């Protein structure tokens, strides 16, 4: 029996940039919800040599099951997604939207459809067509409402770092609550919220931030509160990122929000796992989407996200379309090419560093696109990937040519880390986290790698004699004042005190420059306050990879970099900082050290086999 197609078509012009309109229109998860479809339960399946995403749901009284092939899109140009149904009266169904510039506006041509054969399809098809026709009007009306408050033109897209999907998310979040565009909003227990927010009154948090968080927990939709990212909110609120992160950490201790650890896959950059405690993070994680396992880097892969506490509000959200481009904001194009075919699409990628890879396979390439440049991607019989950048063509395009007998999916991604992610490397150097979550550490015996961290070790010279010279009480007060100064300086330089050991301190930083600047200021401060008592500070700074471990039920660091920093401190004299020659070559570090006398020397460090080239920085004479 012949297949029948039932489709609803609607065109609309928007007085907003095509890039921004695409970010709103292409959110197929939001479209499926707005069209009244039932949320699905998704799993990954192996079908022969192919790994596919499958979904199940109940629709119009029927149990339905489908395969959701990778959706296709080019940012700013089009989006197309189709489901192939394995169970139910419909054979296939999907959504397609193409965008064009017309007379200074953005023209959107949207199509929603189902297709199938048989008597049930003849009954259901017209119902679905009418539903889609009504939903398209509502959906595009909702987009018009969002754009009426601001079309996103003030965002700068020239660098290529900003994503259309993220701009759309910001525009929606800036609007008053609307169930059509923002989804359901569960009831908030305002009395319980206020009781718990009251615990934050004396925590020294920035004025107004606690109230902004409280208001968000009352007013915003569930989908925004199920996974809150402090840095994203800070940028939206135009507030300091570290201050907003402080509020979330204190709010977690007050029972206002829950801290969760999201382990992001380094390939697809989507959450492979979410756990409630750092002790639940294992050293290796499997990504179901990529079907790969990988070693977890606490600094790069583990992100702190927050959820409204369930005693205040239940915010578990449903997934309507797992393949939506909105879930992959870093992917600027995702295109399938059929066997032995060539495909050409308009491509508006700005000058930027891009990563081109196959959805399944080992091939990938890093390219930088010049102004107006186009991409040419070639796939051979074995799906080996080759990428060329072409300049001087009349318009930007992406061309994919394949000589393989298999269909392939090519992705073009923005490179670089997610700037909104509060990664483990940041939490491990954040004073409030180490203070408030002293016992939040990896499970006993689990070592989580951190690819890069700067570590500072300090000690006092002359402190033993000080106790004999001025007495225990006064000497103890001097040492405590020194610790307070150290803590203040480390925090000002975006670091955190990991632990104290007698008169010694270990501190962590994400930046070597911050660590070195903090060390210099520590020596200076100690000299100004206690130099006349014969007390001075000596320090060592090292950087590199290390391990996050549990030691004495606290987060601690272990490894060669830790040992190196400690040994460097041991080689320093009072009033000195010792670093490696390699660190001294860092241009930003050299700029910080420019006013100081730097003397190279060689030394063997305990526990390190080879002789080291070191630099002694004299801040003050001993």
Which pLDDT tens digit goes with each residue over 331-380? 999 999 999 999 999 998 777 789 999 987 667 899 988 888 899 999 99
The CATH superfamily of 435-618 is Nucleotide cyclase, GGDEF domain (3.30.70.1230)
CA distance 85 to 36: 18
Q: Within its chain, how far is the Cα of 586 from the centroid? A: 27
* 598 Rama class: left (phi>0) / alpha (psi -120 to 50) / beta: beta
- Position of tokens 């292409």? 26
Which pLDDT tens digit goes with each residue over 145-160? 999 876 655 554 444 5
CA distance 33 to 21: 18
**CA nearest neighbour of 93 among 60, 69, 115, 66:** 115
Q: How many CB atoms lie within 10 A of CB 244?
A: 26
CA distance 456 to 505: 8
Mean pLDDT of 241-256: 95
CA distance 616 to 37: 67
Using DSSP bridges, classify how beta strands 331-337 and 408-414 pair: parallel, antiparallel or unpaired.
antiparallel
CA distance 61 to 269: 36
Give percent of the chain above pLDDT 70: 97
Answer whether 305's CB lies under 8 Å from 227's CB. yes
pLDDT for 151 equals 60
pLDDT for 1 equals 67
Q: Which CATH architecture has domain 4-148?
A: 2-Layer Sandwich (3.30)
Q: What are phi and psi of 488, to 5 degrees?
A: -65, -45
Q: What is the token pair recorded at 139?
A: 């959906």
Using DSSP bridges, classify how beta strands 576-580 and 257-264 pair: parallel, antiparallel or unpaired.
unpaired
Using DSSP bridges, classify how beta strands 374-379 and 397-402 pair: parallel, antiparallel or unpaired.
parallel
Indicate the average pLDDT of the chain: 90
Q: Coil, strand or helix: which one is 41?
A: strand
pLDDT for 159 equals 44
CA distance 542 to 118: 71
Of 84 and 371, which is predicted with more confidence?
84
Q: Which residues partner with 303 through β-bridges?
A: 262, 423
Q: How many CB atoms lie within 10 A of CB 227?
A: 17
Mean pLDDT of 259-287: 89
**CA nearest neighbour of 13 among 118, 143, 193, 120:** 143
pLDDT for 523 equals 92
For residue 487, the surrounding DSSP H or E stretch is helix 472-492
Which pLDDT tens digit goes with each residue over 116-155? 999 999 999 999 999 999 999 999 999 999 998 766 555 5
Burial class for 618, CB neighbours closer than 10 Å (0-12, 13-18, 19+): middle
Q: Could you state, in order of their start, the residue ranges of all structural domains in the chain? A: 4-148, 187-308, 331-414, 435-618
Give percent of the chain above pLDDT 90: 62
Q: How many CA atoms lie within 13 A of 569 on its CB side?
A: 27
**CA nearest neighbour of 386 among 373, 367, 369:** 367
Which pLDDT tens digit goes with each residue over 14-33? 999 999 999 999 999 999 99
Which pLDDT tens digit goes with each residue over 46-74? 887 778 899 999 887 889 999 999 999 99
Answer whether 524's CB lies under 8 Å from 516's CB. no
Q: Coil, strand or helix: which one is 194?
A: helix
Which pLDDT tens digit goes with each residue over 470-525? 887 887 888 888 899 999 999 999 999 998 888 889 999 999 999 999 999 999 99
- Go through 166-199 and write b for each residue having 16 or more CB atoms within 10 A of its CB, e for each that does not: bbbbbbbeebeeeeebbbebeebbeeebeebbee
E strands present in 348-407: 353-358, 364-368, 374-379, 385-390, 397-402
Answer whether 510's CB lies under 8 Å from 446's CB. no
The confidence band for 197, taking pLDDT boundaries of 50, 70 and 90, is: very high
In sequence order, what are the residues at sequence separation of 6 or more whose Cβ sits closer than 8 angstroms to the Cβ of residue 429?
453, 494, 495, 496, 508, 509, 510
Using DSSP bridges, classify how beta strands 342-346 and 78-87 pair: parallel, antiparallel or unpaired.
unpaired
pLDDT for 422 equals 92
Kindly give the residue spans of alpha helices, DSSP state H, lying in 116-254. Answer: 119-148, 164-173, 179-182, 190-197, 209-219, 222-225, 230-237, 241-253
Q: What is the token pair recorded at 44?
A: 């990954």
pLDDT for 441 equals 81
Mean pLDDT of 515-540: 91
């Amino acid at each position: 029996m012949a297949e029948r197609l039932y489709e609803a078509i609607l065109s609309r012009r928007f007085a907003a940039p095509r890039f921004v309109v695409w970010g709103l229109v292409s959110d197929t998860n939001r479209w499926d919800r707005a069209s009244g479809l039932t949320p699905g339960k998704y799993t990954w399946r192996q079908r022969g040599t192919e790994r596919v995403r499958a979904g199940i749901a109940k629709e119009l009284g029927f149990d339905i099951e489908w395969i959701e092939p990778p959706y296709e899109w080019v940012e700013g140009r089009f989006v197309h997604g189709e489901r192939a149904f394995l169970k139910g009266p419909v054979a296939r169904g999907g959504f397609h939207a193409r965008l064009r510039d017309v007379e200074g506006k953005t023209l959107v041509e949207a199509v929603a459809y189902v297709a199938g054969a048989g008597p049930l399809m003849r009954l259901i098809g017209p119902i679905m067509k009418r539903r889609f026709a009504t939903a398209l009007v509502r959906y595009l009306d909702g987009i018009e409402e969002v754009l009426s408050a601001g079309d996103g033109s003030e965002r700068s897209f020239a660098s290529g770092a900003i994503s259309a999907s993220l701009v759309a998310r910001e525009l929606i979040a800036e609007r008053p609550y609307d169930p059509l565009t923002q989804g359901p909003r569960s009831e908030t227990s305002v009395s319980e919220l206020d009781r718990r927010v009251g615990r934050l009154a004396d925590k020294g948090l920035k004025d107004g931030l606690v109230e902004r968080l409280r208001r968000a927990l009352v007013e915003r939709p569930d989908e925004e509160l199920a996974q809150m990212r402090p840095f994203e909110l800070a940028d939206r609120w135009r507030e300091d990122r570290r201050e907003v992160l402080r509020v979330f950490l204190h709010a977690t201790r007050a029972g206002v929000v829950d801290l969760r650890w999201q382990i992001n896959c380094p390939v697809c950059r989507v959450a492979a796992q979410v756990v409630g405690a750092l002790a639940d993070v294992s050293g290796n994680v499997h990504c179901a989407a990529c079907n790969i396992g990988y070693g977890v880097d606490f600094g790069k892969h583990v992100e702190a996200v927050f959820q409204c506490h369930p005693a205040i509000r239940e915010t578990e959200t449903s997934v309507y379309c797992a393949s939506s481009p909105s879930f992959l904001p870093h992917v600027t194009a995702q295109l399938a090419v059929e066997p032995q075919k060539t495909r050409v699409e308009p491509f508006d990628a700005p000058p930027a560093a891009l990563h081109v890879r196959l959805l399944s396979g080992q091939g990938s390439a890093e390219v930088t696109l010049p102004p107006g440049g186009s991409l040419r991607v070639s796939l051979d019989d074995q799906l080996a990937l080759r990428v060329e950048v072409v300049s001087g063509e009349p318009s930007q395009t992406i061309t994919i040519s394949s000589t393989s007998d298999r269909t392939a999916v090519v992705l073009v991604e923005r490179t670089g880390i997610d700037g909104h992610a509060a990664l483990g490397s940041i939490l491990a150097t954040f004073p409030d986290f180490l203070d408030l979550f002293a016992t939040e550490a990896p499970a006993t015996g689990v070592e989580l790698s951190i690819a890069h961290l700067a570590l500072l070790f300090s000690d006092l010279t002359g402190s033993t004699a000080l106790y004999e010279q001025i007495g225990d009480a006064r000497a103890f007060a001097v040492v405590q004042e020194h610790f307070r100064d150290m803590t203040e300086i480390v925090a000002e330089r975006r670091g955190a005190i990991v632990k104290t050991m007698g008169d010694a301190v270990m501190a962590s930083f994400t930046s070597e420059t911050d660590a070195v600047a903090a060390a210099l200021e520590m020596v200076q401060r100690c000299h100004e306050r206690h130099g006349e008592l014969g007390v001075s500070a000596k320090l060592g700074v090292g950087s590199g990879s290390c391990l996050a471990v549990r030691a004495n039920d606290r987060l601690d660091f272990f490894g060669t970099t830790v040992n190196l920093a400690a040994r460097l401190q041991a080689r320093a004299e009072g009033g000195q900082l010792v670093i490696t020659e390699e660190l001294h070559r860092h241009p930003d570090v050299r700029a910080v050290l420019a006013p100081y006398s730097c003397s190279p020397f060689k030394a063997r460090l305990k526990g390190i086999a080879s002789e080291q080239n070191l630099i002694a920085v004299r801040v003050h004479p001993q």
